[in-house]
Amino acid sequence: MQGKNVAGEEIKLKRIEDCLWEIPRQGGMRVPGRIYATEKLVADLKEDNSLRQVMNVAHLPGIVGYSLAMPDIHWGYGFPIGGVAAMDFDDGVVSPGGVGYDINCGVRLVKTSLVFNEINEKIPQIVETLFSLIPSGVGAEGAIPKLSKENEKRLLRDGARWAVEHGYGRAEDLEFMEEGGRLESADAELLSDRALERGLKQVGTLGSGNHFLEIGRVDEIYLPHVANALGLFPNQVVILIHTGSRGLGYQTCEDFLKVMNHAMAKYGIQLPDRQLACTPIRSAEGQDYLSAMAAAANYAWVNRQVIMSLAEKAFLRALSISPAELGFSLIYDVCHNIAKIEEHMVDGKKRRLCVHRKGATRAFPPGHAQVPNAYRQLGQPILIPGDMGRYSYLLVGTEAAMAKTFGSTCHGAGRVMSRAQSKKQSRGIDIDQEMARRGVVARYQGRATMAEEMPHAYKDVAEVVETMDLAGISKKVARLRPVGVIKG
């Protein structure tokens, strides 16, 4: 099969398996590119520049195995969104474009004891209360009192533990977050004054873009023994929180792209796209970036932890019930935009790698030491938010992911329209009426942002998830139907 990028050049794809395609090494590519997709999803990429970005990433020094793309792939900054690349720790590079501007944009899934049929008439009231308690939209602030710089730096060091210590959530929540909600390498002193300033007022805010809080109901269960172990049952009310590190993370990425663009000549690095700015992992610039990125990642975990606490308060207020009756409990929290130092088997040997996941989710298998004890025999939960109008998914990781994708899988639906195109298609649509037709009560700050993020702007997440299930990379556990959403 052949695809084209926006310049019109043909990119030849070789089919390796039913849902796996390869771009052979050519030019300066150090490894082949590999894309997980059905034939339909690949065909949809022909007008997108993301295949060229897969090839560009393959030029990075020290890249191991393949430049990978998940089925939700679409064009991004430097790396495609849905891109995964593992670099040798000693000889490879780290690239902010392989993490993205929204450092540790991620998702958490919360379960309740509520049955949808028993509270469905109160969904509008719950949504309204959520919207009043959780600030959303561009520049949203004010969820908690403004931090002092000193307290902000403690937050950046301690991650979600800081939130728990300040009364947001419970200590057991930390057991159900990737990395326990904290990267130890964080160094707040490496963040610019501007990044710190942007972070002072935004803890506990959703922000804008594709971020949202979704109330869902468990619509279908595929693996009953896993669902039971996670405490899920049919028609159960659950909550998805999708947001990241807000302005602080954005500014941190911006700052280090400038640093690395200036430093590349010093290290003799030449690449086909300046957006792939990078430096050796072991360089001063590379180590500084990883420590600053870790601080921003910790901020994102705090942000989601505070939002979760505010969401519990909203449910209790709207329903006038006790915490015991609500049964609000974290299932898991995963990162979508992060670079991690991990050990993986490569050509039969264990190697220390820096795994970039940009719009991709970790998918560790049963028995892995970094899967929480409670889920060790099941595999790591994987959370895949949809488009607010169709469905979202809970998956678990597999051994095949470790062998083929450095323990990675998809992260969401993936765009098929630019924001401008989606706004154009949304003209004349009554957004509230359209969401209601889909059975979703929606509250949002601005019509323009909602118009950019309507379901028509995204691939069908069911096909994305099915692709990775068929490939054996991640396995479907449950499908969740949205019934209420708030966003910027």
Residues 6 or more apart from 256 whose CB is under 8 A from it? 96, 285, 288, 289, 292, 293
Residue from 59, 166, 411, 456 carrying the catalytic annotation? 411
Q: Are 308 and 165 in contact (CB under 8 A)?
A: no
Detail the DSSP E strand segments found in 270-360: 279-280, 329-335, 337-346, 349-358
3-state helix, strand and coil shares in percent for the chain, rounded to the nearest 5: 40, 25, 35
Cα(190)–Cα(293) distance, integer angstroms: 9
Distance CA 185, CA 159 (A): 11
Quick check: 78 and 95 in contact, CB under 8 A?
yes
Q: β-strands 441-444, 474-487: how paired?
A: parallel
Instruction: Give the whole-angstrom CA distance, residue 16 versus residue 408.
Output: 18
Quote the CA–CA distance of 431 and 453 in Å, as a whole number: 11
Angle CA 104–230–170, to nearest 5: 60
If residue 392 lies in a helix (H) or strand (E), which one and from where to where? strand 392-397
Of 160, 394, 188, 170, the C-alpha closest to 293 is 188
The rounded distance, in Å, linking the Cα atoms of 340 and 40 is 32
CB atoms within 10 A of CB 416: 18
100 vs 249: CA distance, rounded Å: 9
Q: Report phi then psi at 308, rounded to 5.
A: -60, -40
Within 8 A by CB and 6+ apart from 463, the residues are 38, 40, 41, 71
Q: Which two tokens stand for residue 164?
A: 């728990």
Is residue 411 annotated as a catalytic residue, yes or no? Answer: yes
Residues labelled catalytic: 411
